[in-house]
Chain A
Amino acid sequence: MGHISRYETEVLIIGGGATGTSIMRDCALRGIKCMLLDKNDIASGTTGRNHGLLHSGARYAVTDSESAHECIQENKILKKIASHCVDKTDGLFITLPEDDLSFQSTFIHACSSVGIDTQKLTPEEALKLEPNVNPSLLGAVKVPDGTLDPFRLCASNVLDAKKYGAQIFTYSVVQSFIRAGERIIGASCLNVRTNEKFEIFAHEVINAAGIWGKNICQYADLDVQMFPAKGSLLVLEHRINELVINRCRKPADADILVPGDSISLIGTTSEEIDYSEIDSLRVTDQEVNILIAEGAKLAPILEKTRILRAYAGVRPLVDVSGGNGRNISRGIVLLDHAQRDGLTGLTSILGGKLMTCRLMAEMTTDVVAKKLGNNSPCTTHLQPLPGSVETADKQPQKKTALTSKAAAYRHGEKAVQLFDQSAKGKSIVCECEMVSVGEIEYAIKKLDVTNLVDLRRRTRLGMGSCQGELCTYRASGLFCEYGQCSGHDSSKLLIHFLEERWKGIKPVLFDDALREAEFTYWIYEGLFGAADVTLLGTAQNDEKKEYYEI
């Protein structure tokens, strides 16, 4: 065991999802020193594994008016502070012949009572707005739904927080809490990439680990009951709808179709799973089936559209009854463990939604700031995130390279000015999503990127039609240049990335996804011999060789 680094801070945040990074930003803006820890990359848990839907709240209006109210408030805030993460598409709630049309008026009434604007449309009007919506619809209601890119949101939170002195440790796990009597005063941590141990001492620790929050509480010998629910989604090859399409009925499986950036998403199924399964989610054939069949009811074209991949996330539902009463909340659960369990120094923020991440951060930071004696007010709802500061020159100039337009869309105009503007900087690496060398350099150097999967979350690299076939080799090479990687290490990043892509392709390995996979395999294994990279350098590999002789 070598030297163990020690860090001191006011607040240690565990979990780099939407909530954790929002808390990080909130603390930083209030002048509270903080550090954030995630066992993986930011936005790699539930945050990055949902629809990316900017709810108007309409979906909850009838069943859960409190959530609906929170959503519409946050919807308005995020449109202002995170415009580069938001696409203001609007959404439709459609009534199909099998649905009860009378629900529509209940729905509209519920929406207006929480302040969600609605507009009732005839089928013709709906089809005009959204030509791919199921033409047999009986009616539709337009609401201010949109899309929210969770990766960009988290990255911008971190970028802003770092500007005010916050620090982030990705790929780092908590191994145990450091206690002083009935007080948590820090955590012993391990960087799983480098295997280095380190300790962070903090006045307050915030558990924002989502579904993994139960584990974190266990480190403090506290018991929190969580009920993980798996939700699976499919990624379609391109954007088949311009507006979010929902069913105007009580929420059910596979009834939201979201146009996310260059693709569309259909989801989600819902299945309770055992807590032990949360790290090994699999999308089953049956779920794929349901998603296609139900999705085609929203937009019939979906049935004929190429599917790129499937993925699943876990909803972090919390039992708030304290016992086995199974009073499960879908809302925000803020646990002050000093009050609840008599353990000071630890606060858990659990449950909630991507939509309410800022609000959850505000609530949590309010509690923790008070403990620290910090009286600064929350400003996260007022100050735009980096990337949304300058929206004035949204109109790209004619001569602008396509990669710069794409980058401006992802990072805001201001960030793009930081990119390498040379021919090389502007040149395309990922042809499907127009990711340039300059954007990759920026991400590696400024956005805490350590591998190609992280890079994908910051840039959309490898998220398009070919799922990394053309860009993986090119991009991994750039890690030699900008990421201080050896050529051998960058080859390993290549394999790591293609394996990660493969996870999502497997459940939909038919039709063009299979053609694409065969093609990718020919190139990377048949032509490039990639599988051998992992064997290289392991000195013994020669002895494993078995020769076929007469």
Chain B
Amino acid sequence: MKFDSIIIGGGIAGYTAGLRCLEAGLKTAIISNGQSALHFSSGSIDLLSHTPTGKIIRNPEAVFEKFAREFPEHPYSKVGKEIVFESLDWYKKILASAGIPLTHQENGDNHFRITPLGTLKSTWMSQPYIYQLPVRLEEHQVQRIIVVQIDNFRDFNSKMVSDNLSQIPEFKDIKIKNVSVSIDGFSGLKRNPCELRSIDIARILSDDHEISLFAEKLKKIASPDDILILPAITGNGDGLAVLNKLHQLTGLTIHEVPTMPPSLLGIRLEEAMSRLFINNGGALLKGDQVTKGDMAEDGDTLRLKSIYTRNFKEMPLTAANFILASGSFFSKGFKAHYNQIKEPVFDLDLNTIEERKSWHQEQFFSQKSHPFLSIGIKTNTAFNPMHKGVVVNNLFCTGSSLAGYDPIAQGCGSGVAISTGYYSVNQMLNNSGVNR
């Protein structure tokens, strides 16, 4: 089968690249081996919250040039400020067209979101029902926070949220309250209602009657000036419609907090992107795994001619260009063997670390970044990888397949995914004259 471009990986980087390719009129396929890590994500877009040296970044735009000079190996430094912000703007438009309006601070600051442990995480662009606390926290306008405990729901604990929030010095004078709320639909279930996951509750609450009963209860415990912290248990596959309805019915300031897996906030993003991709004519090969590729010499470089998958067996998939968006270990973009880490499909060169005992820090929650999180593929400035030192000229790497950054410690996972996905397609289009 023949395509103009084939993208390996269906996470945020892969879909960004896929949607951009379709926009450019290319016949495009995405191959995804199972659903992506968005299913456990906050559904906010992190841009950059810390430098690799651990300093706090409040306004990524303001410090971008300095950052790029100081950390030239970071993917952002290769993409450049203009394209990074252009890509985020584009992403915002695309998602809005799919029914998910994302917003950020007008001055370009990061903002804090509240976590299920009542700590604060810095991010940059969020969904409508994330209350954006100022990253300069002393400027917050919060008067009272009500944390809702859904009765018998295991995967969100309001007491941990409220007790930890009240330890934050800037919240010293705020009233923080816990309130239990039951969901009527739990009664009468044959299955143990205490074992429902966020997604199961979302299904119950997609019923109009259930949501209005729930709204009535919420109205009794909070007023519009409060921040009402709700676990993310509403608005599943149907996007935000249920949550909009809840907001309409209550008039309350809802702040959604992700739960233990699955995280509905992240699922919304993936579903929206996936639907757009199919509606725009993309070919989505779900649940398939790329097993190998055929490379050919092309001058001093290599060219990826075709790839093979588990389902297609010996039938090759060919394309002018390929994008690798296969993620890290979780998504099997890398495989850690007993004594070495490898990129399993093409055996691309990695910035690997020899000794296994140096892959990690002593402490799990170390203040220092775990080295395995920064392991990735070495690339040139166009994000072409190398195989045994030789550049592969029509393969482009994106997102967490790239070396040189820690998505969690630096708070930049989704931002890097979007900007490198977007940038790679630009590079591909520039190159395509040569490659076709």
A and B touch in the complex (CB under 8 A): yes
* A550 interface neighbour in B63, B115, B161, Cβ under 8 Å: B63
Q: A273 an interface residue at 8 Å Cβ cutoff?
A: no
Within 8 A of B (CB), among A62-101: none
* A490 interface neighbour in B152, B160, B263, B332, Cβ under 8 Å: B160
Complex contact A528–B119 (CB within 8 A): yes
Within 8 A of B (CB), among A521-546: 521-534, 536-537, 539, 542, 545-546
Complex contact B157–A515 (CB within 8 A): no
* B63 interface neighbour in A289, A518, A549, Cβ under 8 Å: A549
Complex contact A527–B115 (CB within 8 A): yes
What chain A residues lie within 8 Å of B258 (beta carbons)?
527
Q: A405 an interface residue at 8 Å Cβ cutoff?
A: no
Q: How far is the CB of B236 from chain A (nearest CB, A)?
A: 18
Within 8 A of A (CB), among B360-394: 360, 362-367, 370, 372-373
Complex contact A547–B56 (CB within 8 A): yes
Complex contact B360–A509 (CB within 8 A): yes
What chain A residues lie within 8 Å of B54 (beta carbons)?
546
Q: A476 an interface residue at 8 Å Cβ cutoff?
A: yes
* B194 interface neighbour in A437, A506, A536, Cβ under 8 Å: A437
Complex contact A499–B169 (CB within 8 A): no
What chain B residues lie within 8 Å of A517 (beta carbons)?
360
Q: B66 an interface residue at 8 Å Cβ cutoff?
A: yes
What chain B residues lie within 8 Å of A532 (beta carbons)?
117, 119-120
Known contacts A518-B330, A539-B169; is A523 also within 8 Å of B40 by CB?
A: yes
Known contacts A518-B329, A525-B408; is A510 also within 8 Å of B337 by CB?
A: yes
Known contacts A526-B408, A536-B167, A548-B51; is A515 also within 8 Å of B329 by CB?
A: yes
Please report the C-alpha to C-alpha distance between residue A506 and residue B338 in the assembled complex, in whole angstroms.
Answer: 12
What chain B residues lie within 8 Å of A510 (beta carbons)?
336-339, 356
Complex contact A499–B56 (CB within 8 A): no
Interface size (A, Cβ < 8 Å)?
Answer: 60
Q: Which residue of A lies closest to B362 (CB)?
A: A506
Q: How far is the CB of B65 from chain A (nearest CB, A)?
A: 8
Q: Which residue of B lies closest to A288 (CB)?
A: B338
Complex contact B56–A545 (CB within 8 A): yes
Stretch in contact with the other chain, from A5-13, A42-50, A317-325, A426-434:
A426-434
Interface range, B side: 35 or more
Q: A343 an interface residue at 8 Å Cβ cutoff?
A: no
Binary flags per residue of B345-358, CB closer than 8 Å to A gives 1, else 0 = 00000000000110
* B159 interface neighbour in A487, A522, A536, A537, Cβ under 8 Å: A487
Binary flags per residue of A474-499, CB closer than 8 Å to B gives 1, else 0 = 10110010000011101100110011
What chain B residues lie within 8 Å of A480 (beta carbons)?
157, 159-160
Q: Which residue of A lies closest to B357 (CB)?
A: A285
Please report the C-alpha to C-alpha distance between residue A494 and residue B365 in the assembled complex, in whole angstroms.
Answer: 11
Complex contact B40–A519 (CB within 8 A): yes
Q: B20 an interface residue at 8 Å Cβ cutoff?
A: no
Please report the C-alpha to C-alpha distance between residue A495 and residue B119 in the assembled complex, in whole angstroms.
Answer: 13
Q: B55 an interface residue at 8 Å Cβ cutoff?
A: yes
What chain B residues lie within 8 Å of A476 (beta carbons)?
157, 160
Binary flags per residue of B15-57, CB closer than 8 Å to A gives 1, else 0 = 0000000000000000000000100111000000011001111
* B116 interface neighbour in A518, A527, A545, Cβ under 8 Å: A527
Complex contact B55–A548 (CB within 8 A): yes
* A401 interface neighbour in B192, B261, B413, Cβ under 8 Å: B192
Q: Which residue of A lies closest to B70 (CB)?
A: A548
* B360 interface neighbour in A470, A494, A506, A548, Cβ under 8 Å: A506
What chain A residues lie within 8 Å of B162 (beta carbons)?
487
Complex contact B117–A533 (CB within 8 A): yes
What chain A residues lie within 8 Å of B328 (beta carbons)?
518
What chain A residues lie within 8 Å of B372 (beta carbons)?
509, 514, 518
Q: Which residue of B lies closest to A538 (CB)?
A: B167
Complex contact A487–B118 (CB within 8 A): yes
Within 8 A of A (CB), among B250-276: 258, 260-261, 263
What chain B residues lie within 8 Å of A539 (beta carbons)?
169
Q: Which residue of A lies closest to B55 (CB)?
A: A548
What chain B residues lie within 8 Å of A473 (beta carbons)?
116, 155, 157, 260
Q: A423 an interface residue at 8 Å Cβ cutoff?
A: yes
Complex contact A488–B163 (CB within 8 A): yes
What chain B residues lie within 8 Å of A550 (beta carbons)?
62-63, 66
Known contacts A285-B356, A401-B192, A521-B370; is A477 also within 8 Å of B160 by CB?
A: yes
Q: A502 an interface residue at 8 Å Cβ cutoff?
A: yes
Complex contact A427–B56 (CB within 8 A): no
What chain B residues lie within 8 Å of A536 (beta carbons)?
119, 164, 167-168
Q: How far is the CB of B326 from chain A (nearest CB, A)?
A: 13
Complex contact B363–A502 (CB within 8 A): yes
Please report the C-alpha to C-alpha distance between residue A534 and residue B167 in the assembled complex, in whole angstroms.
Answer: 11
Q: How far is the CB of A35 from chain B (nearest CB, A)?
A: 34
Please report the C-alpha to C-alpha distance between residue A423 and residue B157 in the assembled complex, in whole angstroms.
Answer: 18
What chain A residues lie within 8 Å of B121 (beta carbons)?
529
Q: B247 an interface residue at 8 Å Cβ cutoff?
A: no
Q: Which residue of B lies closest to A531 (CB)?
A: B365
Q: A3 an interface residue at 8 Å Cβ cutoff?
A: no
Q: A304 an interface residue at 8 Å Cβ cutoff?
A: no
Please report the C-alpha to C-alpha distance between residue A529 and residue B161 in the assembled complex, in whole angstroms.
Answer: 11
Q: B359 an interface residue at 8 Å Cβ cutoff?
A: yes
Within 8 A of A (CB), among B230-250: none
Additional A-B contact list (16), CB under 8 Å, known A517-B360, A526-B413: A427-B194, A473-B260, A477-B154, A487-B118, A487-B159, A488-B163, A502-B363, A506-B360, A518-B330, A521-B408, A526-B41, A529-B117, A536-B168, A546-B54, A548-B55, A549-B58
16 contacts between A and B (CB under 8 A): A423-B192, A427-B192, A429-B154, A477-B154, A477-B157, A487-B163, A498-B364, A514-B372, A527-B115, A529-B121, A536-B167, A539-B169, A547-B57, A549-B62, A550-B62, A550-B66
**Sorted from nearest, which 10 A-B pairs have the closest CB atoms?**
A487-B163, A427-B194, A477-B157, A529-B119, A502-B364, A487-B159, A548-B55, A536-B167, A532-B119, A487-B160
